[in-house]
Amino acid sequence: MKKILFVCHGNICRSPMAEYVMKDLVKKAGLEDELQIASAATSREEIGNPVYPSARRKLAEHGISCGGHAACQLRNSDYEEYDLLIGMDRANLRNMYRICGGDFNDKMHLLMEYAGRPKQEVADPWYTDDFDATWLDVLAGCRGLPRPFEMRGRVNDGWIN
């Protein structure tokens, strides 16, 4: 089983949106037994808090539930536990390197790399209040994610529909 960990600053907006979008895509593709998906924060500011209400509403608009989420912090041991650790922006990536002590196995990436936009960061709705832009970024990145796991060919059409 492959494991993906999405990471943002507080684990209440972008990374849980990515977690639950990816879980939804994985379920629809029938790959639940092949992928484990979670999310975490680089900070301690929101530990234990649920998904931010505007993010929760955006997910619900698309029929995706995020109930039971409680923000947690990235741990050094997560580097060994997960196959991919995916940050939402460059500040997240820097903090991920710091917490995990580096990226010796090329496991850390930005989500937008998988959307074909490696220089772009996922729009941060905490500052913009634009959850639509964040939704579009997260969806595009998550839809591109199977490639590193060589599943793209097996689920090709079913993955992104």
Active site residue 24: no
Which residue of the set 13, 124, 137, 142 is catalytic?
A: 124
AA letter at 29 = A
Annotated catalytic residue, options 14, 24, 56, 66: 14
Catalytic residue among 8, 13, 66, 100: 8
**124: number of CA atoms within 13 Å, CB side?**
14
Q: What is the 3-state secondary structure (H, E, C) of the chain?
A: CEEEEEEECCCCCHHHHHHHHHHHHHHHCCCCCCEEEEEEECCCCCCCCCCCHHHHHHHHHCCCCCCCCCCCECCCCHHHHCCEEEECCHHHHHHHHHHHCCCCCCCEEEHHHHHCCCCCCCCCHHHHCCHHHHHHHHHHHHHHCCHHHCCHHHHHHHHHC
Say if CB 33 and CB 26 are below 8 A apart.
no
Catalytic status, residue 8 = yes
**Active-site residue flag, 157:** no
Catalytic residues, by residue number, are: 8, 14, 124
